[in-house]
Amino acid sequence: MSDPVKLLAVADSDSYVKWGAALLSRAPAGWDRRLVVLASPVLPSADQLSAALATSGRSFARPAVIDLAALAVRVAKQQPDVVLLSVRGPLVKVVVRAIVGAAARRPVIVTGLPGISVPATRKAVAHRAQADLFVVHSRRELREFTALAETMRVPQQFALATLPFLPPPVPVRVPSPASSPGLAGDIIFAAQAKVPALKSERLALLGWLAESARRHPSIRVVIKVRATHGEQQTHAETHDYAALLPLLQQPAPANLVVEGGAMSAHLATAGGLVTVSSTAAVEAIALGRPVLILGDFGVDAEMINTVFIGSGLIGGSSDLIDGDFRHPDAAWLDDNFFHGQGCDDWVATVTELLEQRANDELPLKVLQRGTAGGRLRRAWDRKRALGRFDRSWTGMLALAIGMPLLMLLRARRKLLRRAAPADGELAVTSPEESSRPLGSSTR
């Protein structure tokens, strides 16, 4: 009898812990499945970790939180056959270097994104270029990412997996207008760190939620947040909803509340879910809950909500205030997250990759960009992704040398942008090569 496949999942932020743990639970039961959390600037709190694990579908022992050096030691000791990198984009190549250097035979490297990934982005592909397999969650994502990788000339293999934290879909019975009883439970607003971004937009949204709460005094309107004050999340949030509440022109009604916790717990008794673009909308659809996608701030790539075009779910602030929530069009479902688990092929593809590995036919991909600078560049990548959790002297040296250079480059780009209208030329920096603050997140 052959030994079980050893699968180690490495996660960092709360959303990546949720996705990684849930995907791990969908792997074959006979595999040896383990999860660790990598210490980084977006390390989830104890409450965030509990909420992230709540929808994994199986009971996980509380995962160990380890640094990069300890991860390398663990890989050297356990020699996993597969490593699932459920981490932010800039961290992927940093972890790949650590595990490849520690493994006697390097594992199959699997990665992916923890939610809605339409539109496909160059950064998402570029950051994960060394992975053997990139997991996506819909037929549409599969088409878009495959086409983008080909355009970028990045040799990447993609496979399909149902969003792993979705509950089994339930039949939806849409009542006729004459018999509709209205909302039968809380209105849940799935807040996001990135959208909408402006303070004025967030205040407007809070005003609509407050008015909806006044209009429906018998139910609660819950602003469901991923992080409370002092907690970190995948994307940095500039304007916290709880902090903005006192700025409303009228005092917030008592039935407008801010809460954290697991989204699954909120949806269990929800009457409807409203969001700008959160993956929670897909969770609500699976449970048969009506949904409203707010289009007031735009339906475009910036709002990350183009995937809902054609769903029948997009509405506006007046719909939120009136409690007009909807169920999706059936034609939209099959192409977007509800293709059925029988179409998933990620486990079969991993098995094929394991066979290639056994036959020494799975060489590690060579990065085509972002490698200039040798050892110092690698130290820079590590320090930028791990921040204060990288205590190496090479990281400090790279930061001391790199930050002044980065400031000069930014100043030069700003000058080029100002000059562009005069000479008709536009300076363009590819998204995957752009620089971000220490510890910040990209897809």
Is residue 404 in some structural domain?
yes
- Do 97 and 124 lie in one domain? The reply is yes
pLDDT tens, 143-153?
A: 999 999 999 99
d(CA 253, CA 346): 47
- By residue range, what is the domain housing residue 224? 186-334
Is residue 63 in some structural domain?
yes
Report residue 193 as tokens: 């760190």
Report residue 96 as tokens: 């790949």
Q: Regarding beta strands 32-38 and 64-66, do their DSSP bridges make them parallel or antiparallel, or are they unpaired? A: parallel
Report residue 196 as tokens: 């909408």
What percent of the chain has a predicted confidence (pLDDT) above 90?
Answer: 69
Residues with Cβ within 8 Å of residue 373, at least 6 apart in sequence: 380
- Decide: residue 404, CB within 10 A, 0-12 exposed, 13-18 middle, 19+ buried: exposed
Indicate which CATH number applies to the domain containing 220: 3.40.50.2000
d(CA 19, CA 405): 36
Check the CA dihedral 412-149-380-226 and report its sign. Answer: positive
Start-end of H helices in 27-67: 46-53
DSSP-assigned letter for residue 370: S
d(CA 414, CA 435): 14
Residues with Cβ within 8 Å of residue 281, at least 6 apart in sequence: 190, 273, 275, 291, 293, 308, 313
pTM for the predicted model, two decimal places: 0.86
Q: Residue 411 pLDDT > 90, yes or no?
A: no
- Do 327 and 263 lie in one domain? The reply is yes
Write the DSSP string, 270-326.
Answer: EEEEEESS-THHHHHHHTT--EEEE-TT-SSGGGT-GGGTTSS-EE-HHHHHHT--B
Is residue 363 in some structural domain?
no
More confident residue, 186 or 391: 186
Is residue 60 in some structural domain?
yes
Q: Regarding beta strands 314-315 and 291-294, do their DSSP bridges make them parallel or antiparallel, or are they unpaired? A: parallel
Write the DSSP string, 59-107.
Answer: -PPPPEEE-HHHHHHHHHHH--SEEEEES-HHHHHHHHHHHHHH-SSPP
- Split into its structural domains, the chain has a count of 3
Confidence of residue 403 (pLDDT cuts 50, 70, 90): confident
For residue 409, the model assigns a pLDDT of 79
- Do 352 and 396 lie in one domain? The reply is no
Phi and psi torsions of 72, nearest 5°? -60, -40
When the pLDDT of each residue in the chain is averaged and rounded to a whole number, the result is 88
- Do 328 and 345 lie in one domain? The reply is no
- Do 210 and 247 lie in one domain? The reply is yes
pLDDT tens, 235-272?
A: 455 678 999 999 998 999 999 999 988 899 999 999 99
More confident residue, 61 or 356: 356
- Do 193 and 138 lie in one domain? The reply is no
Report residue 425 as tokens: 């030329």
pLDDT tens, 75-89?
A: 999 999 999 999 999
pLDDT tens, 412-435?
A: 888 887 776 544 333 333 333 333
Phi and psi torsions of 326, nearest 5°? -135, 165
List residues bridging with 256 in a β-sheet: 221
pLDDT tens, 84-118?
A: 999 999 999 999 999 998 999 999 999 999 999 99
Angle, helices 14-26/46-53, rounded to nearest 10 degrees: 30
For residue 405, the model assigns a pLDDT of 74
Question: Which letter, b or e, does each residue of 9-37 get, where b requires 16 or more Cβ atoms within 10 Å of its Cβ?
Answer: bbbbbbbbbbbbbbbbbbbeeebebbbbb
For residue 416, the model assigns a pLDDT of 83
- Do 218 and 343 lie in one domain? The reply is no
Is residue 70 in some structural domain?
yes
